[in-house]
Chains A and B, each alone.
Chain A
């Protein structure tokens, strides 16, 4: 199943977990590293096809210039907007400290 063997290190996996803000247990570091190696090796299948001079397709539809006018449509009432917020302080959303 693997086309080209990829070897991603545990260190890289930890860095990615840091970028993606997902905490990893030691066990998960092991398991994910191994799984990622397999999956990424499969992904490298795309190397086999020649794409020189081929432009990337970001959108399947070729739309351009979609706008809305500069008009006020209105907002959600505060209670509705914050109805799912786990922690509030007065009208503020309470977040963890910065440092």
Chain B
């Protein structure tokens, strides 16, 4: 649904610093996924009386690296603040976070992320904070009679990246998040494939309408869906002349709707004040330089390198580096296959398309660089045609079987037997005299005959031979006609 009203979207992105081994303020292991609930806790992250936080030094280094990569200004002195509010997922009923008012200075501010379509999204601020616990319900949030709390996630380090409301559509949001994810993965600080590692709250307003906040979007994939729903919801209200309330809504992933939580935005008063149990951080120029010197290759730099080193067209390089795993996949393939351009083309077109159609992430597909390289080698050696290879690729993606085994099992070998082709062509010429007639006078109609041959051979016919035999048969006929 296209929003004809001016749409303003701002995102508050929360990315876990998944490269950290321990939590932000305590020594509990950060590797909590798939573990039994409430087994990764200590007095600090559980909020027991008398516990005190101590800051993980690597979190600051990660933050500096992220800020550098986004071109943000890094503060020379940064503080932690308490954001005071009650909620069942809050072990202390305040979150140790950062603030940009009342004397507060977040770790960085400013910078931008490009959306890849020429547009840039400005970053308002970047800050470090702790993750709350995970809530689950028996049923849905509004029907469950109790809430279940798992504190394993409580205290995990989060980077909050807040954008200006520069995004104009759900598609913009998707592109922005994709690029942001690529940057963070290239930096090695955050792995977007881990469940819940990248979450988002969105603020959206249509035209003159009020701003609605959408919370609980658990992954970047869900963002476009949530925004599309919300735009439709707001549009229908505005169309009916009804008012869009300024409120916080909760995205229900299962039912795919936003639900009003009936909490008025105006009543929130977080009573921010500096965290008394932590001391200020002085970020020295030396530290910033050290972090910058050790920074991995960023997507933009990698893109330039791909163009230079592999002679790839700009758009292909951009698409590849827009996803770290895709770019890594590409470079792995190139190690054992000389024609980088070919690999690039396959990856950015059919490979991505089939992934999208199957609803898979690149790490969910069974295709490895080895698979792709072997497939290309089969094409090169004439065993299969390019067209047939597409089928093979699709099959590899879901089964993980190697290309030659697929080709054998499905009998996809290219047909190169002259005799066989000739006999098929004979049949076609006999059965479609009108088409043959057309082909004698019209070039384009020849393709129809070749197409028919391909169809009858399930695409396996060697196209060169097909062309040659059909053309030669036609010219023989032509000579006969002229002779006659």
Judge A-B direct contact (beta carbons within 8 Å): yes
Q: Does B358 contact A (CB under 8 A)?
A: no
Residues of B within 8 A of A18 (CB): 267
Q: Does A66 contact B (CB under 8 A)?
A: yes
CA distance A76 to B27 in the complex (A): 11
B58–A76 touching, CB < 8 Å: no
Contact segment of A1-9, A26-34, A91-99: A91-99
A75–B41 touching, CB < 8 Å: yes
Residues of B within 8 A of A95 (CB): 88, 135, 146-149
Residues of B within 8 A of A74 (CB): 27-29, 42
A76–B43 touching, CB < 8 Å: yes
Known: A58-B276, A72-B22. A67 touches B57 (CB 8 A): yes
Q: Does B55 contact A (CB under 8 A)?
A: yes
Partner of A59, one of B142, B262, B267, B276: B276
Partner of A73, one of B20, B28, B136, B276: B28
Using a CB-CB cutoff of 8 Å, which residues 56-95 of chain A contact chain B?
Answer: 56, 58-59, 63-78, 81-82, 89-95
CA distance A91 to B449 in the complex (A): 69
Q: Does B479 contact A (CB under 8 A)?
A: no
Residues of A within 8 A of B145 (CB): 97
Q: Does B285 contact A (CB under 8 A)?
A: no
**Binary flags per residue of B75-113, CB closer than 8 Å to A gives 1, else 0:** 000000000001010000100000000010000000000
Residues of B within 8 A of A19 (CB): 269, 271
**Binary flags per residue of B273-296, CB closer than 8 Å to A gives 1, else 0:** 010101111100000000000000
Q: Does B56 contact A (CB under 8 A)?
A: yes
Q: Does A11 contact B (CB under 8 A)?
A: no
Residues of B within 8 A of A77 (CB): 39
Residues of B within 8 A of A91 (CB): 36-39, 150
CA distance A94 to B29 in the complex (A): 23
Partner of B279, one of A64, A78, A89: A64
Residues of B within 8 A of A59 (CB): 276, 279
**Binary flags per residue of A2-44, CB closer than 8 Å to B gives 1, else 0:** 0000000000000000110100000000000000000000000
B41–A81 touching, CB < 8 Å: yes
CA distance A68 to B21 in the complex (A): 12
A89–B142 touching, CB < 8 Å: no
Q: Does B261 contact A (CB under 8 A)?
A: yes
Residues of A within 8 A of B20 (CB): 70
CA distance A83 to B274 in the complex (A): 32
Q: Does B373 contact A (CB under 8 A)?
A: no
Partner of B151, one of A21, A93, A99: A93
A68–B55 touching, CB < 8 Å: yes
Partner of B27, one of A58, A73, A78: A73
A66–B54 touching, CB < 8 Å: yes
Q: Does B46 contact A (CB under 8 A)?
A: yes
Known: A75-B28, A93-B38. A68 touches B56 (CB 8 A): yes
A97–B39 touching, CB < 8 Å: no
**Binary flags per residue of B138-178, CB closer than 8 Å to A gives 1, else 0:** 00011011111111000000000000000000000000000
| Chain B interface (Cβ < 8 Å from any Cβ of A) | 20-22, 26-30, 36-43, 46, 54-60, 86, 88, 93, 103, 135-137, 141-142, 144-151, 261-262, 267, 269, 271, 274, 276, 278-282
Knowing that A66-B279, A73-B27, A89-B146 are A-B contacts, what are 11 other residue pairs whose CB atoms are under 8 Å apart, sorted by A's residue number? Answer: A64-B279, A67-B56, A70-B56, A73-B28, A73-B42, A74-B29, A76-B41, A77-B39, A81-B38, A97-B146, A99-B261
Q: List 28 A-B pairs, Cβ < 8 Å.
A: A59-B279, A63-B279, A64-B279, A64-B281, A65-B281, A66-B54, A66-B55, A67-B54, A67-B55, A68-B56, A68-B57, A70-B20, A70-B58, A72-B30, A73-B22, A75-B42, A77-B39, A78-B36, A78-B41, A81-B38, A81-B46, A91-B38, A93-B150, A94-B149, A95-B88, A96-B147, A98-B135, A98-B147
The 8 A-B residue pairs with the shortest CB-CB distance, nearest first, are A73-B27, A67-B57, A92-B148, A70-B58, A95-B88, A91-B37, A95-B147, A93-B149
| Chain A interface (Cβ < 8 Å from any Cβ of B) | 18-19, 21, 56, 58-59, 63-78, 81-82, 89-99
